Amino acid sequence: MNVTRNITLESAIEDAKRDYTARNSKSLVNHQRALGPMPGGNTRSVLFYDPFPLTFTGGEGAYLFDVDGHKYTDFLGEFTAGLAGHSHPAIRKAVIAALEGGISLGGHNIYEPRFAEAVTARFPSMELVRFANSGTEANLLAISTAIAKTGRRKVMVMRNGYHGAVFTFSPGANINAPFDYVYGIYNDLDATLAVLEADAANIACVILEPMLGGGGCIAASTPFLQGLREATSRHGIVLIFDEVMTSRLSPSGLQGRVGITPDMTTLGKYVGGGMSFGAFGGKAELMALFDPRRADALPHAGTFNNNVLTMAAGYAALTEVYTPEAAARLNASGDALRERLNAICAKADVAMQFTGIGSMLAVHMQRGPVLSPADAARGNMPAKELFFFDMLKAGYWIARRGMMALCLPLEAADYDGYAAAVEEFVVSRRSLLV
């Protein structure tokens, strides 16, 4: 990278963006076209970054290709949804077979019961399950289930937590679903229980990710989760684990890895085999509220809840692709990679580290423990932006915010290459990583 010692972080970012623009002229043209019919040329906020986002034309295995002819090793895995990589043969075969039978059948199909069996077998906390179209929708329905069951109106979330498009609890402009929220503090059991105990009679549920995904791959401590489990059980509050991302972290989700069982679990992302997917499930007494044989059944609509493409792809994903053995291997690879990257950062003595569990990790430009979103917010955000652009130039696709999610087709050479790229970054940019 040939970075001089007296360069500033701001000028380094400016140089990186100029180089990025020069290398991606066709992506710029596509973005300019999108500016006409869409606000900001965008229909998914997380994919936008300045000066303009890349435009991809395809993917194969662990690799992505953009409109300007560049190849990237995919270390983002569609924000955990692309766990199987691109065009996995087993999933492709399942989707083609479903297509040949007709797409929108308007009734029950042969795929949904076997997919439901596979889901409930993998995640024992989900005694019964219902399907939806996204993780956001699954969380909306899980919260609504808890409110209907308990008759209470308040919902406890964590400050700076995230549960989908209408559940963003960080500072800034949000369009959240209009529930009556109370706020806990992630990984601060005393502060969270103080809020919970003061209003327990009115709280229907507590919802949280057992590891923050988009919030920086920050794991909840086992005592924090156990304390919430005990308090919610004591007060008849429904405990919901949002495992839309973290369900990949062991054969039975992160809840299985830490040994704590919630009342309800929500899923999304990779479980649908790369198709639009969400699911919510839990104890039979909660999910039975949706049994249409009951006179007082709760309604649950959704034209595409049981669409054949997702049902077929999801079944293949769980039973043929992300088997328990594959889950164990991928997460072991992720743990090893994170340790390797942190060793590189420690050797260079830079303010940079990688957090996470298993196949999910995130970079933070700072020293010291990162145990909460407040800790992460103290990091050097411009340095993280520089890392993003340097990794793009090196041929590695990650999230601009520093998140990574590994996919199954990644091989040893891909991990070696990424580690080498990170090492080049910390060596060449060392003077900026303070």
Local confidence pLDDT in tens for the 434 residues of the chain: 444 446 899 999 999 999 999 999 999 999 999 999 999 999 999 999 999 999 999 999 999 999 999 999 999 999 999 999 999 999 999 999 999 999 999 999 999 999 999 999 999 999 999 999 999 999 999 999 999 999 999 999 999 999 999 999 999 889 999 999 999 999 999 999 999 999 999 999 999 999 999 999 999 999 999 999 999 999 999 999 999 999 999 999 999 999 999 999 999 999 999 999 999 999 999 999 999 999 999 999 999 999 999 999 999 999 999 999 999 999 999 999 999 999 999 999 999 999 999 999 999 999 999 999 999 999 999 999 999 999 999 999 999 999 999 999 999 999 999 999 999 999 999 999 99
pLDDT score at 5: 45
Q: What is the DSSP letter of 297?
A: P
**Contact assessment for residue 419 and residue 99, using Cβ atoms and an 8 Å cutoff:** no
Assessment of whether the complete model's pTM goes beyond 0.75: yes
The contacts of residue 349 (CB under 8 Å, 6+ apart) are: none
**β pairing state of 63-66 and 71-74:** antiparallel
Whether 242 is catalytic is yes
In whole angstroms, give the CA distance from residue 228 to residue 192. Answer: 9
Q: What is the DSSP letter of 85?
A: -
- The crossing angle, in degrees rounded to 10, of helices 222-235 and 189-198 is 10
Q: What is the DSSP letter of 61?
A: B
Residue 397 belongs to what H/E stretch?
Answer: strand 396-397
In whole angstroms, give the CA distance from residue 156 to residue 180. Answer: 9
**Contact assessment for residue 313 and residue 274, using Cβ atoms and an 8 Å cutoff:** yes
Q: What is the DSSP letter of 333?
A: H
pLDDT score at 4: 41
**Quick one: which of 274, 276, 282, 289 has its CA closest to 253?**
282
Whether 162 is catalytic is yes
| DSSP for 366-387, written as a single string | SSS---SHHHHHTS-HHHHHHH
Catalytic residue among 111, 162, 396, 418: 162
- With 0-12 / 13-18 / 19 or more C-beta atoms within 10 angstroms meaning exposed / middle / buried, residue 382 is middle
pLDDT score at 6: 64
Catalytic residue among 269, 270, 396, 418: 269
Residue extents of the structural domains in the chain: 9-83+324-432, 89-321
**Contact assessment for residue 371 and residue 218, using Cβ atoms and an 8 Å cutoff:** yes
**Quick one: which of 253, 213, 225 has its CA closest to 120?**
253
**Domain over 9-83+324-432 is classified CATH 3.90.1150.10:** yes
Catalytic residue among 66, 242, 390, 414: 242
- The crossing angle, in degrees rounded to 10, of helices 381-394 and 412-428 is 130
Topology (CATH level 3) of domain 89-321: Aspartate Aminotransferase; domain 2 (3.40.640)
Q: Three-class SS of residue 141?
A: helix
Tokens describing residue 152: 């209470």
Whether 154 is catalytic is no
